[in-house]
Amino acid sequence: MELQKKIRNLADKYFDDVVKIRRAIHANPELAFEEHETSKLVSDILGKQGVVVSHVAKTGIIGTLKGTKNGKTVALRSDMDALPIREATGLPFASKNEGKMHACGHDAHTAIGLGAAMILSELKNEIHGEVRFLFQPSEEKNPGGAPFMIQDGALDGVDEIYGLHVIAQHDAGTVGFCEGEMMASADELYITIKGKSGHGARPHFATDPIVTAAQVILGLQTLVSRSLDPFSQGVITIGSIHGGFAPNIIPEEVKLVGTLRSMTKQWREYAHARVKEITEGICASAGASCEVLIDKGYPVLRNEPGKTHFAEECARELFGSDQVFKAERLMGAEDFAYYLEKVPGTFYRLGIRNQKSGITADIHNDHFTIDEEALRTGMAMQAYLAMRSLAQV
């Protein structure tokens, strides 16, 4: 109880500072691997807290806080990049950078990470081991910043890792957990179908790539409807079609772009092979040819059950059971998955919704914002997780 009280009091102490930090970052969003000002802000604040700073992964930062007693190493991750969206919130601290916006809550994640650093710096004499703060660039853009952070030593010597993400479907002050597979793998599909151009009134002299593309799109849907176990989860979506330029001309080629998502490594690999087989087969039957490129993205995010149960227990201790919810599995993707492939840990949800205040917009929306009370919850949770974990033998 004493530690819980300390953490909550310190979260209250630093809350106003963290709100200011979040607003400063929100007003100055930067895209993937362009987070130069954000990185400088993070570095300066960590330095003032006595945290040792290392610059990695282009614009990434590793902050190291060593306790006065020996122990293991726990990592806390925050992502820093924004999205290419024109903000429409009308907030006084809305984006100053045209066409860029923190529409996914990474401004909150970064502020929470810094708030946790402030709390833990005050508890340094009670820390058994080391807390490593990972401020990561480029979560929004494949191949993600996590592999570069890992390559530059972010997980060297780390025993476990924790991360969070805001969610607009739950109220501010709540946290949610999901053991096992929580988020999908995400791969991008680039398909070019090549036919033979001709007059629209004489299709028998041409090979129509538009009709062939339509058959390919429908054929690919059978991957989910007929090849995937009905109790499993997977998605294939063609989100872009480009071909042709006039109503009476059959074009030479059509380009399709889509996404393939899976909750298992096995079906992901199977689906990759079948996308090529289905596309090539349909094109061959139509007398067309094709090129199929699958750009492999983030893997399935799998939360280690033991660490997930531990984190949920910590949340109940800190906030009470009524503030804890069961997080649903989502077909969205997250490069925190790369960390979890190397080190046990968990990725959890932080509610940011406030219906009365009209804060309900989902992420990746130009009206997205958060109830800033969630910052108090997030930094307390991250700090408490680190302290409780390091206290375990």
Q: Tens digits of per-residue pLDDT, 96-135? A: 999 999 999 999 999 999 999 999 999 999 999 999 999 9
Cα distance between residue 78 and residue 266, in whole Å: 30
Domain boundary among 248, 266, 295: 295
- Catalytic one among 298, 338, 339, 384? 298
Helix (H, G, I), strand (E, B), or coil: what is residue 290?
A: strand
Listed residues 230, 264, 295: the one ending a domain: 295
From 35, 339, 372, 384, the catalytic residue: 372
Q: Are residues 223 and 274 in the same domain?
A: yes
236-245 burial by CB neighbour count: b if 16+ within 10 A, else e?
bbbeebebbe
Q: What is the mean pLDDT of the chain?
A: 97
Q: How far apart are the first and last CA of the chain?
A: 19
Question: Tens of pLDDT along 321-371?
Answer: 999 999 999 999 999 999 999 999 999 999 999 999 999 999 999 999 999
Told to judge if 139 belongs to the known catalytic residues of this protein, a careful annotator would answer no
Residue 137 is encoded by which pair of tokens?
A: 């660039």
- The predicted-structure confidence for 168-194, as pLDDT tens digits, reads as follows 999 999 999 999 999 999 999 999 999
Q: Report the CATH number at residue 274.
A: 3.30.70.360
**Residue range 11-35: average pLDDT?**
98
- CA 83, distance to chain mean position in Å, is 12
Question: Do 192 and 178 share a structural domain?
Answer: no
Q: Are 174 and 374 in contact (CB under 8 A)?
A: no
Q: How many domains does one find in the chain?
A: 2
What is the domain extent for residue 15? 2-183+300-391
Question: Could you tell me the pTM of the whole model?
Answer: 0.95
pLDDT score of 392: 78
The reply to whether 225 and 306 lie within a common domain is no
Q: Is 341 a catalytic residue?
A: no
Is the N-terminal amide bond of 84 cis, ω within 30° of 0?
no
CA distance readout (Å), 146 to 72, 187, 280? 22, 16, 34
Q: Please give the Cα distance from 353 to 326 (Å, whole number).
A: 16
Task: Write out pLDDT tens, residues 60-96.
Answer: 999 999 998 889 999 999 999 999 999 999 999 999 9
- Look at residue 393 and tell me whether its pLDDT is greater than 80: no
Residue 76 and residue 17 share a domain: yes
Structure confidence at residue 144 (pLDDT): 96
pLDDT tens, 266-289?
999 999 999 999 999 999 999 999
Distance from C-alpha of 7 to C-alpha of 10, rounded to nearest angstrom: 5
